[in-house]
Structure 1
Amino acid sequence: MEMFHIREKADAILARQRGREIAKTIGFSLVDQTVIAYTISELALKLISISEKGHMMMRPVSLYKGESASGIEVRLFDHFKGPSRIHLQWMEKMTDDMELSHDQTRGTMITFRKWVHAPLRIDSPFCAAGEE
């Protein structure tokens, strides 16, 4: 897992670029690479604008143990001790899996995952209703 301390815009740019590189390596489409980079960038910029400090971690992940990576996981840690100040409604359409947790000791942790969607298998002998 790679860690990025997010303190200024240059840190956000570095995290965004690395997220895009990981997504490309995993096999995401160009559109999905852009969505992942945008989401990372927006989270990092929100962290800069509302928090004194924080960090972001990202890594490739797989759905099942032993398989090659088929997704990316990004975790953002806002070290603010009060209630979360990051609103995530805009992220719901961009991610496949999202979690938000908060405690008084560590602050807020946001985790999102995006998965490469496998193409549908056409070689199946089963047909939909009305097909022959």
Structure 2
Amino acid sequence: MHIPPGFNTIAPYFFVRNAEAFVGFLVQGLGGAETCRTMRPDGGIANVQVRIGDSTVMVSEATGRYPPMCSAFYLYVDDADAAMGRALAHGAIEEMPVADMPYGDRQGGARDSHGNIWWISQRLVAGPYEP
């Protein structure tokens, strides 16, 4: 099996309305970097790849065949408070304030303007999650 550099076995793929704005949120609000862009003949985004940390996500403009879909993601960051502040400054709405969790993460939740929830999490302990 060959997986391109920057990708993992599973790569999230977003179909959203106003894909350009969503790419902007991924880059500015979540600290990502756009790495590849393909446009459709009508000028809509066919595929944009955005690298966030060690993962790549893909974005396409929603169509009748592939309508907008919301989801939730667990995003590991170095500083949950700063990451949450950046997400909120770029249009996200607080779902849950950042706080220390009993499972060893400092975490908060933010909902982006496309309806996706981002659980922004800073791991405070080295090691696996314990039951």
Structure showing the higher strand proportion among its residues: 2
> Greater share of helix residues, 1 or 2?
1
TM-score, scaled relative to structure 2:
0.36
Q: Which has the larger radius of gyration?
A: 1
Q: TM-score, normalised by structure 1?
A: 0.36
